[in-house]
Amino acid sequence: MSQQINPPYVWRIKLKTFIALWFFLSVILPPARISLAQITERKPKASDPAEHTFPALGASAEQKVPVAWNRYYDHAGLGAILARLHKAFPELTKLYSIGKSYQKRDIWCLEVTARPAPIATGRRVSLTAGQMPEVGSNWCGVGDPNRKPGMYIDGNIHGNEIQAGEVVAYTGWYLCHQYGRLEKVTALLNDRVFYLLPTINPDGRDFWIHGGQFARSGMEPTDDDRDGLMDEDDCEDLNGDGFIAQMRKKDPQGRFKLHPDYPKYLMVRARPDEPGQYTLLGWEGIDNDGDGRINEDGPGGYDLNRNWAYDWQPDYIQHGAKDYPFSQPETRAVAEFVLAHPNIAASQSYHNSGGMILRSPGREGGPMRNEDEQVLVVIAERGEKILPFYRSMITWKDLYTVWGGEDDWFYAGRGILSFTNELWTPKNLYKTADQPSDEDEAAFIEYVLLGDGAIPWGEYDHPTYGKIEIGGQKKQWGRIPPSFLLEEELHRNMAFTLYHADMMPLLRISDIETEKLADDLFRIWVTVENQRLIPTRTAQDVANHISPPDVVSIRGDQLDVLSAGRVTDRFFKRIEAVKRRPHRVELDTIGGMSAAHVQFVVKGKGSFTVTVDSAKGGVHTKSSTLPGQT
């Protein structure tokens, strides 16, 4: 039986509901509406976003020199980056020109290393093991920059291979910002010196960036077609759209047709049994000199990477070699710089493209000592892991023959272990080990770049060909990475080069042991360790007497050195004695990840100092006292 609800009670519930609704509509809702209006008019503060960042791994939180590494810079732009780095990090850098190009542009070098700071307080501060210095702090113990093992890095010897310049500049930027923050970078700059030359062909770089199509060469005028004129018939931007693109002509006798799926980007060859639609006419241009050819004699026309003084061959054997080795101011400036810096122990050059880690020799049968190749192979194997889809290769065997190349001069002529990286591989477009097809690349332009990578085809009346079409892929496509993949390319290649630099000789006098033979007569055993992979002198260096031998010497105010020698067997203590000047022992080399042992027989008392002097390993000293002395 249901219960009856008291009518007065029901009335009270309705009254309370009415009051609550009235309160919401008249008191709560109007201010809320006002608040919403106010919110829509509010905007975030226009402060500097850099003050509100959280750093991703691989970047420092504070960037004294902000640089956008998703774009390319001309010679002046690269110079400005180097100048700002030098201004922001004067205690780590020196900036100077090593020479001038044919068109009188400076070839800039940024020298990066930790330097003893000027002593302003009257006392020096030394670092303890594992201690990290602050940039700008007053401290010592980093050594003379001119005597540290040197890592030489250059880029852009071919003018159109522009990302090479960004890799080198990025290396300097990264080293400066990470010093004092990352232990590895700090150790590198304490123990090594980096010579960074972003572009050694600034003329070619600027020509390509500011409109030129073919700029592999330097810019000295050359008669490519042997008609008595120089640089008289280059490509032109005929339609004035700011690009030099391809030309094609609708032609029923042509052998090319539009790709069925990507007609905006690709032309394909017609089958032998079907008619074509187009004839391809090459790059945009006209017959400037009336010789019946188009674009056959552009600026330059030689190859700076065939102009080096080892295995150089004349032009009829090696195209582009120019008149004689080091005939060009750019290659000569680099050679003179390297000769003036005998501490350079490793080198790296950056080119494009193909994803390659190249090493000498450039010709079959060219110089490469087995001991040195083993070291290069180990470094390159690490490089293949640091650089996905890059391959370790020998130039002549896996690519093509090069006469008079830079790598061969560095290694065969100077005994320096060197690599050339061919930057960028299309495999990075889809992060796959398979080479992308033409269709894959066209799809990348269409769906990832949203069409930015191609120039729409448009009609043009050509003085020779009549009505044609101009368009196709932009020159930025193919050999250089798009913006969002560029920074990864820069960092990974830099990381490989820093690994190479870290493998340069790292010497330490690890042990000094004394043995008393008689009154005031002592035998002193010295152990010198090389804690890295690269020897102080390569086998090529030793065989050709390129740099002086390493020297271990001893001195003391109250010391007479009676004899000395190199320890050939440290267990049986067999000695190969020196024949003269017993206070010093010359060593051919101190091998990688090994040690050299030296013995001195001395008479006297008191303290003494042992010094190791190595052209590519630096200068190191350690002091001790003879037994029984205070």
Residue at 325 is within a domain: no
Residue at 166 is within a domain: no
The model's pLDDT over 333-382, given as tens digits with 9 standing for 90+, comes to 999 999 999 999 999 999 999 999 999 999 999 999 999 999 999 999 99
Question: Can you tell me the distance from the alpha carbon of 359 to that of 384, in angstroms, rounded to the nearest whole number?
Answer: 13
The tokens for 364 are 């079959």
- Residue 297 CB neighbours (<10 A): 22
Residue at 30 is within a domain: no
**Range 396-405 average pLDDT:** 97
Peptide bond into 353 cis (omega under 30): yes
* 589 Cβ contact partners less than 8 Å away, ≥ 6 residues apart: 535, 536, 537, 538, 539, 541, 542, 549, 550
Domains identified in the chain, total number? 1
Q: How far is CA 601 from CA 503, 509, 630, in A?
A: 34, 18, 20
Residue at 606 is within a domain: yes
> Which residue range forms the structural domain that includes residue 558?
507-625
Residue 112: strand, helix, or coil: strand
The model's pLDDT over 302-313, given as tens digits with 9 standing for 90+, comes to 999 999 999 999
Residue 128 predicted with pLDDT over 60: no
CATH of the domain at 537: 2.60.40.10
Residue at 551 is within a domain: yes
The larger pLDDT score, comparing residue 49 to residue 507, is at 507
Radius of gyration of the chain, Cα coordinates, nearest whole angstrom: 34
Residue at 167 is within a domain: no
Residue 267: what pLDDT?
Answer: 94
Looking only at the bridges linking them, the beta strands covering 521-530 and 594-604 are: antiparallel
Residue-averaged pLDDT of the chain:
91
**Range 491-507 average pLDDT:** 98
- Residue 102 CB neighbours (<10 A): 17
Encode 522-550 in three state secondary structure: EEEEEEEEECCCCCCCCHHHHHHCCCCCE
- Give the angle subtended at the CA of 85 by the CAs of 83 and 86, to the nearest 5°: 65
Residue at 550 is within a domain: yes
Residue 629: what pLDDT?
Answer: 58
Indicate the range of 51-60, 120-129, 442-451 predicted with least confidence: 120-129
Residue 288 predicted with pLDDT over 70: yes
Residue at 564 is within a domain: yes
**Model pTM above 0.75:** yes
Categorize the per-residue pLDDT at 136 as very low, low, confident or very high, splitting at 50, 70 and 90: very low
* 354 Cβ contact partners less than 8 Å away, ≥ 6 residues apart: 422, 424, 425
The tokens for 108 are 């800039």
